[in-house]
Amino acid sequence: MEVVAIASKTEINAQQTAQKFNIPSVYTDYRQLLERKDMDAVDLCVPTHLHEEMIHGAAEAGKHIIVRNP
């Protein structure tokens, strides 16, 4: 597996994490990240109340989805 992108509401958080883990692309809107054709899967590391919207978006984009419940 290769991590190709990260998304966060806060760009500075995304940039710092991307730099720390050598992730090449950063997004502040996860929907833009889902548009990538070179991604097969997404790991949703978000609070539970955001799962439903993001799962639907990822499924509609044809991505495999990894999500953990608390």
pLDDT at 41 over 70: yes
pLDDT at 59 over 80: yes
70 pLDDT band, cuts 50/70/90, is low
Cβ–Cβ < 8 Å for 32, 23: no
Read off φ and ψ for residue 60, nearest 5 degrees: -65, -30
Q: What is the rounded distance in angstroms from the CA atom of residue 44 to the CA atom of residue 39? A: 14
What pTM does this model have?
0.86
pLDDT at 21 over 70: yes
| pLDDT per residue as tens digits for the range 3-16 | 999 999 999 999 99
Could you tell me which residues are beta bridge partners of residue 42? Answer: 65
Q: What is the rounded distance in angstroms from the CA atom of residue 23 to the CA atom of residue 53? A: 24
Q: What is the CATH code of the structural domain delimited by 5-67?
A: 3.40.50.720
